[in-house]
Amino acid sequence: MSADPIPTSGNPPAGIPPVKGAANWRTTLALLSLAASLGLLLAALLVFNHSRQSPAPPAAAPASAFRSVLNWQAADFTLPTLSGEVFRLTDHRGQVVFLNFWETWCAPCRIEMPDFATFLAEQDEDSPLVLYTINGGQNAAQIHEFYDELGIDPLPTLLDTQGEITALYGVMQLPQTFILDGDGVARARILGIMDLADMRSYLAEYSG
């Protein structure tokens, strides 16, 4: 049996109602096809634009990456000390500088502070070490109370009451310690708790 001939007039095949307002059913199908194509094109453009604006996330650091070697010149700054003096970073060229960022509410900070106290007590007058803790918000009374609760003498502490130096150094996790060499170059950044062995090791590495 031969196939039914495709109608060539402006009317659709039998059984299909005519489309009002369109020249013929072929025109309607063409318009629908064009609309679908435009929709696909628009979707492709949106996906492409999103891929350009949203770069792939960086690969995760290995779990063993405890420290990050930085090798950048540490920004100079001045801050008042807990004892009422003024600290300026560039005054300590030629020494190994530990800058420990902390706050009184930080539980891990409480764990490492006694080791910092022991570490300082080990140093003699020829030691190249300069160690300052930088508190980013509490007042002097709160800081003294913190040290009293730990049963240690107050460590050399800088008062970053406005958080400007904390922001300058990009500190978003506490505790966090930067270690600078004698040229004032940030050689290491330790995220989280340091113990006494870590402190000794870093001092030996960067004082040589």
CB atoms within 10 A of CB 22: 14
Counting Cα atoms < 13 Å in the Cβ hemisphere of 110 gives 10
Band of the pLDDT at 208, cuts 50, 70, 90?
Answer: confident
pLDDT at 24 over 80: no
> Residue 133's beta-bridge partner residues?
100, 157
pLDDT at 137: 87
Residue 31, amino acid: L
Distance CA 172, CA 6 (A): 73
User: What does pTM read for this prediction?
Assistant: 0.67
Rounded Cα gap, residues 138 and 189, in angstroms? 23
Nearest to 168 by CA among 74, 37, 64, 41: 74
Average of per-residue pLDDT values in the chain: 78
Higher pLDDT, 23 or 164: 164
Q: Contact, 121 vs 156, CB < 8 A? A: no
Burial label, 92 (beta-carbon count in 10 A; 0-12, 13-18, 19+) = middle
Structure confidence at residue 92 as a pLDDT band (50, 70, 90): very high
pLDDT bracket for residue 39 (50, 70, 90): low
Distance CA 154, CA 175 (A): 17
Q: What is the pLDDT of residues 172-204, one digit of tens each?
A: 999 999 999 999 999 999 999 999 999 999 999
Q: Cα–Cα distances in Å, from 21 out to 24, 152, 165?
A: 9, 90, 71
- pLDDT tens for residues 125-158? 999 999 999 999 899 999 999 999 999 999 999 9
Q: How far is CA 7 from the centre of its chain?
A: 68
pLDDT of residue 159 exceeding 90? yes
Least Cα distance to 175 among 199, 152, 153 occurs for 199
Q: What is the 8-class DSSP label of residue 92?
A: G
Q: pLDDT at position 16, please?
A: 41
Give 1's pLDDT tier (boundaries 50, 70, 90): very low
